[in-house]
């Protein structure tokens, strides 16, 4: 009888349940549903079991996209994290100049993905683009539309330009949280600049760096808009990463079944990496405590 007196709780739970259902569970279950059927026409499907998973896992184009994706993600992590730390270390710590440099550094973060793509598409053009024309002038044959290395470098540059500021901001906040006494003690101990970085700043930045790596990993692993705007995943499939390939399957070819199976695998890969990072983070925290 007591159980029914607390009906108020339902009013609190139901909206959340509905939101989660419509935003996550139902779409996810639809994808699961698609992944085991061959969709012939809207509303008409044939059950095929794990056929699509088998097909997708042996798809060489997918393998190519996955390898490119991994190389790409680890490249941008290898560039953005050290670069972000370096810039954060060089930024003035206090006063007006500190605020100014923070604003300047943060500007790229305010620009939407597709605009960044467009900016670089124009910037890199050989005829009218500031960067592209300049490279041509000094004798470098640069063309992101026909040369896959150039396209790669452009997408990398774009991401570094767009997202290094995030790492900078996180590191800057982390650096400001180090009490002065550490620097003073290091001075008295006669520590070199490198020793201060290695034994004080870097260990104290560990927490924010883990977050930075996690965020940049997830975001770059799902990169879609920038290469799409720049060259549509080309030339050839040089900048076709996982998201591009998925979009091609689902929207370009209407292979909903394979695309759904692919989505689930994609989702599991990201989930796996996030789980690894999360565990790592928890352990780091335990050590600190």
Minimum distance from CB of 85 to another protein (Å)? 16
41 or 188: CB nearest another protein: 188
Least distance in angstroms from the C-beta of 188 to another protein: 5
Q: Rule CB under 8 A: choose which of 195, 251, 271, 276 binds another protein.
A: 195
Task: Work out how close the CB of 198 gets to another protein at its nearest, in angstroms, rounded to a whole number.
Answer: 9
Shortest Å distance, C-beta 83 to another protein? 23
Query: Site for another protein (CB under 8 A): which residue of 113, 197, 199, 277?
Result: 199
248-287: contacts with another protein (CB under 8 A): 287
Binding mask of the shown chain, residues 40 to 79, with x at each position contacting another protein by CB under 8 A: ----------------------------------------
Half-sphere exposure of 238 (CA within 13 A, CB side): 18
127 or 287: CB nearest another protein = 287
Helix axes 148-176, 202-221, angle to 10 degrees: 140
Smallest distance, another protein to C-beta of residue 127, A: 53
Among 27, 92, 112, 203, binds another protein (CB under 8 A): 203
Nearer to another protein, 33 or 97 (CB): 97
Determine the interface stretch with another protein among 41-49, 104-112, 199-207, 227-235 (rule: CB under 8 A): 199-207
Considering the complex, what minimum distance in angstroms separates the CB of residue 281 from another protein? 17
Distances (CA, A) of 78 to 26, 50, 82, 225, 239: 37, 37, 7, 21, 19
Question: Closest separation between CB of residue 190 and another protein, Å?
Answer: 4
Does the protein bind another protein through residue 197 (CB under 8 A)?
A: no
What residues from 204 to 243 belong to the interface with another protein (CB under 8 A)? 204
Contacts of 75 (CB under 8 A, 6+ apart): 156
135-194 residues near another protein, rule: CB under 8 A: 179, 181-182, 184-185, 187-192
Residues that bind another protein (CB under 8 A): 179, 181-182, 184-185, 187-192, 195, 199-200, 203-204, 287-288
């Amino acid at each position: 009888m007591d159980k029914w007196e607390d009906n108020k709780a339902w009013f609190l739970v139901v909206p959340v349940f509905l939101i989660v259902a419509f935003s996550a569970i139902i779409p996810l279950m639809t994808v699961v549903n698609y992944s085991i059927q061959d969709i012939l026409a809207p509303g008409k499907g044939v059950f095929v079991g794990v056929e699509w998973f088998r097909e997708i896992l042996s798809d060489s184009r997918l393998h190519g996209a996955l390898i490119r994706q991994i190389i790409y993600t680890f490249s941008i992590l290898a560039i953005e994290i050290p670069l972000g730390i370096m810039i954060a270390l060089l930024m003035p710590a206090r006063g007006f100049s500190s605020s100014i440099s923070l604003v300047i550094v943060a500007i790229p973060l305010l620009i939407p993905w597709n605009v960044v793509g467009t900016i670089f598409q124009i910037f890199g053009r050989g005829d009218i683009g500031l960067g592209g024309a300049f490279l041509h002038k000094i004798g470098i044959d640069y063309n992101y539309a026909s040369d896959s290395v150039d396209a790669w470098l452009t997408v990398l540059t774009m991401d570094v330009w767009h997202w290094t500021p995030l790492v900078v901001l996180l590191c800057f906040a982390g650096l400001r949280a180090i009490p002065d006494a550490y620097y003073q003690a290091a001075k008295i101990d006669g520590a070199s600049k490198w020793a201060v970085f290695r034994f004080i700043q870097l260990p104290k930045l560990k927490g924010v760096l883990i977050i930075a790596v996690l965020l940049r990993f997830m975001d770059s692993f799902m990169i879609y808009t920038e290469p799409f705007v720049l060259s549509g995943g080309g030339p050839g499939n040089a900048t076709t990463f996982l998201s591009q390939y998925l979009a091609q399957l689902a929207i370009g070819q209407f292979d909903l079944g394979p695309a759904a199976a692919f989505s689930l695998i994609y989702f599991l890969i990201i989930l796996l990496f996030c789980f690894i990072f999360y565990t790592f983070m928890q352990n780091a925290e335990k050590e600190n405590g």
